[in-house]
Amino acid sequence: MSFLFDHNAYLEYGADFCRPLVMSAEGKLKFLLDRFLIETGKEAENSEESHESVVLLVDEESEDSDVEIKNEFEDNDHEWSDNVMSNDPWIFDDSQCGVNKCLLIGCTEPVHFYELFMTDVWDLVVNETNKYGQEKDQTWESTTVEEMKRFIGLCLQMGIVRLPRLRDYWSTSPAFGSNPIGAKVMVRDRFEKLLTYLHFADNTNYDEEDIIYKATKLIQTVNRNCKRVFKPGKKLCINVSLVPLRGKVAYCQYTSHKRYKCGIKVFKLCTTDGYTYRIKVCSDKDASGTVNIAEAVVFDLMDDLLDEGRHLYTNTRNTSISLAERLLHRKTHLIGMCKRNTKGLPKRIINQNLKAGETIAYQNKNGVMVLKWKDKEDIIMISTIHDAAISTNSSKPKVVESYNRAKFEGMNDKMTPYIQLFFHLVTQTCLVNAWMTFCDNVQKITLDDFKIQVYLSYIQNANGTSMTSTQHFLEGAAGPEPKKWRRCVGCYKRFSKDFGYKSASKRAKQVSTRNSSSKGSQLD
Q: List, for the chain, all residue ranges whose pLDDT scores fall below the cut of 70.
A: 1-78, 243-263, 283-291, 407-418, 461-485, 514-524
Q: What is the pLDDT of residues 407-437, one digit of tens each?
A: 644 444 434 556 777 888 888 889 999 999 9
Q: List b or e across 436-459, with b for residues whose CB sees 16 or more CB atoms inside 10 angstroms.
A: bbbbbeeeeeebeebbbebbebbb
pLDDT of residue 88: 87
What Cα–Cα distance (Å) separates residue 313 from each residue in 239, 292, 398?
Answer: 9, 18, 14
Q: What is the pLDDT of residues 142-199, one digit of tens each?
A: 999 999 999 999 999 988 898 988 889 999 888 888 888 888 899 999 999 999 999 9
Measured CA to CA, the distance from residue 441 to residue 118 in angstroms comes to 19
pLDDT of residue 262: 57
Its sign, for the CA torsion 104, 114, 244, 129, is negative
pLDDT of residue 515: 61
pLDDT of residue 294: 82
Q: What is the pLDDT of residues 124-135, one digit of tens each?
A: 999 999 999 999
**CA-CA-CA-CA dihedral for 506, 511, 512, 517, to nearest 10:** -110
CB atoms within 10 A of CB 102: 6
pLDDT of residue 229: 95
pLDDT of residue 13: 40
CB atoms within 10 A of CB 26: 12
| CB contact at 8 A, 32 and 419 | yes
Instruction: Give the closest residue to 110 by CA, choosing from 464, 467, 446.
Output: 446
pTM of the model: 0.70
